[in-house]
Amino acid sequence: KTQDLSSSLASMEDDVQTARSSSCLVVVSTTMQDLLDHHVEDVQRCWSGFRQMVRTRLQEARTRNSDLLSSFRTFSEGGDFSPEEVGKYQIRLEKEIRKMRSIRKSILTELEFLESTSQQQVKKASAALEKKLADKKSELEVIHKIQELISRTQTQIKDEAGSSNLQQSEISSRLEELRRMTRSTQVSPDRVCSFLSSTHEEITKRCRYLELDHSELSADPESRKQVEGSPQSGPQLLSRTAVDPPEDPVLGTSSRVQDPGRGRSTGLSLVQLWQRSIDAVISQRGRGSRTKTDDITAEKGFRFLGFEQETEPNACSFSSSVNSVLWKTKNEIRNLTEDTCCSLDSTQQRLLGYWDQASVFLKASKTELLKQMAAFQELLSPLPAVLISNHEQRHRSQLAEDVGVARRRLEEMLAASEEEKHSNFHKLRVSLTADELQALNAREELRQQQLHSATWSMHQELQKCVRSRTEEFVTSLASLSENLLLLDDLLTPAVTLQHTEHKAVTMETGAETGSRTWPGISFLFSPTKDSDPSTPVTMTTEHIITTTYSQKHEEVIVNRDAAVKRFEKLFSSETSCSDSENQRHLSEQQRWNTHWQQQIHSLTQIHTT
């Protein structure tokens, strides 16, 4: 049975070696314990049966000896033996009894030795398997913990990639909203400028997160054309709001990133130049961080970006976050495998594979960010002219609405007065008495005075409304121009592209260093026929100081001054029209007054004759 047990345990060692999960080891351990229990039960049953048989046989022998001793009788007792023969036989039987006792003791000692030997053989046979089971269990526990760490690492990298895509989606949404706002004349310029600054801040944060220096990767569209060698249509704003990295088990997405230069004319576009700079940086970092498979060690294999974990350049960037996750996972795995014989090579290769996938994702994210930046620059290029034009159109509409309200009130007042005039005129008859004629004349003269006063008041109100709206336009336009001029970091960016040979190529934007003072708005209020000579006729806003000077600043001033000239013409047209209408109304009233007085005089002459 011991040999059978040893054979069974030896066959179970192969199951232990091929086990790939703890459940398999539990099955093997349970099977081994059942075999040991059954073996112990069988052995104990065999030894117990053998002991019982020995006791029974010896007891039978002692009983027969006792019966034999009691059967010896001397002649005097009627037996067949002499006393000497009885003594002799008794001595021999007693010797046999002592011999049987010695044999019994020897058998029991031999049984104990055999039982102990059997137990030692069983322990020896099971100890080896138990040790292999314990080692295998420990190894599988380490593997399970490593798998949990790997799974956690995958989740953390996926979460980081998801956070990155959310940032990208937010920027895309902002660009679409900015495009919509610039097309609408109902959105105030202050809101557009505020939204523009916040969008620029989000792009700057995104550049820092992706370790893409915004000050080095923004360029003036005019300077791009000079460097590129031929005019290029700027990249269109993408409809996609998330980067699709190559298919991999960590990020769980597939690569469908379009070629930024696809469908373009000959020559390198800005996005292509930017893309080359990114390729150079990533390939340069890759050569400094990734070693050959045969040379990977426990430390060198995890210098992902060419810098140690303690000296990361940007703790809030995508690369540093992924690198930190991988470093932490690597250290925990190394601590787990210090007391085991597990190899780190495959785990290192797997973690390095995750970093490679993250690098591809990072490259695609940078490419998408460059497209978003190009779209942002496209929106910025016509922005001053668009905002100033929208601002002018909105104030023109408000002025037209206010003037229309004032003129409708004047027309209503004139219509009511005209109705009263007709009523008074129809009451004018020859049959009126002198008192009735005097009363009717008094009512008409009162109406004429009220009409003249109301006409003059409405004219003054209309002139005041036009001037107030014009002043408001000039003040708000000055504020808008100042906001646009002070957006130096948006209107005058510069681009520096880093190539693999570490040579810098700067794309000039036409910006000059040094501050510049820009004149304020001088608005000439054309004098009217009834204007007060003591009232100033020129409105001047404060000048503006900028830290830089560029053609964009000039465009702001040119568009601002053009809008001012157009509004000056509108102001002159409205005031001139108001003066003409007021003069016409007063002339008509004067003619009617003269006619009325003539009619009253004629009737008075009739009454006196």
Both ends of the chain: CA-CA distance in Å?
Answer: 166
Separation CA 147–CA 203 (nearest Å): 37
Q: Which of 298, 304, 300 minimizes the C-alpha distance to 285?
A: 304
Helix or strand (DSSP H, E) at 547: strand 544-549
What pTM was computed for the model? 0.58
Instruction: Tell me how far CA of residue 583 lies from CA of 179, 364, 453, 587, in angstroms.
Output: 47, 71, 13, 6
CB atoms < 10 A from the CB of 15, how many? 17
Separation CA 267–CA 257 (nearest Å): 21
Whose tokens are 């039960």? That residue is 41
- For 178, residues 6+ apart whose C-beta sits below 8 A from its C-beta are 192, 195, 196, 199, 376, 379
- For 403, residues 6+ apart whose C-beta sits below 8 A from its C-beta are 462, 465, 466, 574
432-472 pLDDT tens trace: 888 888 898 899 899 889 989 998 988 888 888 888 888 88
Which one-letter amino acid corresponds to residue 458? M
Bridge partners, residue 539, by sequence: 523
* Cβ–Cβ < 8 Å for 519, 543: yes
* Cβ–Cβ < 8 Å for 100, 55: no
Q: Which two tokens stand for residue 108?
A: 């029991």
Query: How do 522-524 and 538-540 pair as beta strands?
Result: antiparallel
Instruction: Indicate the burial class of 402 (C-beta count within 10 angstroms; 0-12, 13-18, 19 or more).
Output: middle
Separation CA 225–CA 606 (nearest Å): 92
Q: Which two tokens stand for residue 40?
A: 């112990």
Q: Which of 497, 551, 490, 488 minimizes the C-alpha distance to 227?
A: 497
CB under 8 A, 24+ apart: contacts of 15-24: 16/129, 16/132, 16/133, 16/136, 17/132, 17/136, 19/136, 19/140, 20/140, 21/140, 22/137, 22/140, 22/141, 22/144
* Cβ–Cβ < 8 Å for 525, 568: no
pLDDT on residue 164: 93
Query: How do 544-549 and 512-518 pair as beta strands?
Result: antiparallel
Separation CA 137–CA 130 (nearest Å): 10
Which parts of the chain have pLDDT scores under 50?
A: 214-216, 218-250, 252-302, 304-308, 310-313, 492-512, 534
| Structural domain spans, the chain | 2-141, 145-381, 388-608
Separation CA 76–CA 83 (nearest Å): 9
220-278 pLDDT tens trace: 444 333 333 333 333 332 233 334 433 444 454 333 333 333 333 333 333 343 344 43
* Cβ–Cβ < 8 Å for 493, 218: yes
Which one-letter amino acid corresponds to residue 294? D
Q: Which of 266, 184, 258 minimizes the C-alpha distance to 230?
A: 266
pLDDT on residue 232: 35
Bridge partners, residue 507, by sequence: 495
Which one-letter amino acid corresponds to residue 289? S
Q: Which of 356, 376, 335 minimizes the C-alpha distance to 491?
A: 376
DSSP type of residue 265: -
CA-only gyration radius of the chain, Å: 55
* Cβ–Cβ < 8 Å for 218, 495: yes
Which one-letter amino acid corresponds to residue 418? E
* Cβ–Cβ < 8 Å for 344, 337: yes
Q: Which of 281, 279, 247, 285 minimizes the C-alpha distance to 260?
A: 279
Whose tokens are 């960016």? That residue is 493
Q: Which two tokens stand for residue 431?
A: 């049959």
Core vs surface per residue 55-88: b (16+ CB within 10 A) or e? eeebeeeeeeeeeeeeebeeeeeeeebeeeebee
Query: What are the backbone angles phi and psi of residue 496, rounded to the nearest 5°?
Result: -125, 120
CB under 8 A, 24+ apart: contacts of 79-88: none
Instruction: Tell me how far CA of residue 247 lies from CA of 44, 283, 332, in angstroms.
Output: 64, 20, 27
**Residue 517 three-state SS:** strand
Q: Would you list the DSSP string of 564-593?
A: HHHHHHHHHHHHHHHHHHHHHHHHHHHHHH
Instruction: Indicate the burial class of 371 (C-beta count within 10 angstroms; 0-12, 13-18, 19 or more).
Output: buried
